[in-house]
Amino acid sequence: MNKIEKCQELVKEIYDQFDASHDFQHIERVLMNARAIMETEEQANREVIELAVLLHDVSDPKYTKDKSNEEKILRALNLTPEEELHIKEVIASVSFSGGNEMPTTTIEAKIVQDADRLDALGAVGIARTFAFGGAKGRPLYDDAEEIRMDMSEKEYHSKSTASVTHFYEKLFLLKDLMKTAKGKALAQGRHQFMVEFIDQLKSERDGQI
């Protein structure tokens, strides 16, 4: 069993405890996105990227206060200190954090961040948004809710907004934050699909049948 296979085995039982927005299927899709981007980025370290993808949500504070999952699995993979540090740096750069993301200083970080963000866009992104909102008991939409921009990380995580609000506070911003050429290209169509979906949703809920 190689490191990727071992890591998959170790993380799956963790992700299987999360709701459908961040389950192991999410990880599998992000892996596919990362592999598609890697086809155009020949200098990227494939093992670092795939391990970072597999691990990037195991200690997500939305689901667990136990920060040790990532550390335990990394130790079990018998990586060099340099490899472990690189993977940790990539993982740390993935989070949106209200627009307060860490700089992506390596091609591996750019690829993993783009791959994860692609899964927040398009049809899957829409499904994940409402799956998460449903799991957290959030309303579909709230017209009275103020759209927050230029937030601190603390402000971003401080309020449980309606699912549609999340499109304006994060999802519609992602296409302009993609780092790789392939990621940017893939994001365009998915972004437009979301815009059309929100327009259609507004028409239907406003009785424009």
Per-residue model confidence as pLDDT tens digits over 137-165: 999 999 888 888 776 667 666 678 899 99
CA atoms of 83 and 74, how far apart (whole Å): 10
- Work out the pLDDT band at 175, boundaries 50, 70, 90: very high
DSSP, collapsed to helix, strand or coil, labels residue 10 as helix
**Cα 122 versus chain centre, distance:** 13
**In terms of C-beta density within 10 A (0-12 exposed, 13-18 middle, 19 or more buried), how is residue 28 classed?**
middle
Q: Is the predicted pLDDT of residue 69 greater than 80, yes or no?
A: yes
Averaged pLDDT for residues 93-102: 70
Supply the pLDDT for residue 155: 65
CA atoms of 60 and 40, how far apart (whole Å): 29
Per-residue model confidence as pLDDT tens digits over 116-131: 999 999 999 999 999 9
Supply the pLDDT for residue 47: 96
Other Cβ atoms closer than 10 A to 128: 23
Among candidate residues 90, 114, 132, the one with its CA nearest the CA of residue 31: 114
Supply the pLDDT for residue 100: 55
Q: Hey, what amino acid is at 47? A: E
Domain that residue 184 falls in: 3-205
Supply the pLDDT for residue 37: 97
For the chain, the average pLDDT equals: 91
Q: Is the predicted pLDDT of residue 42 greater than 70, yes or no?
A: yes
CATH value at residue 179? 1.10.3210.50
pTM above 0.85, yes or no: yes
Overall domain count for the chain: 1
CA atoms of 37 and 56, how far apart (whole Å): 17
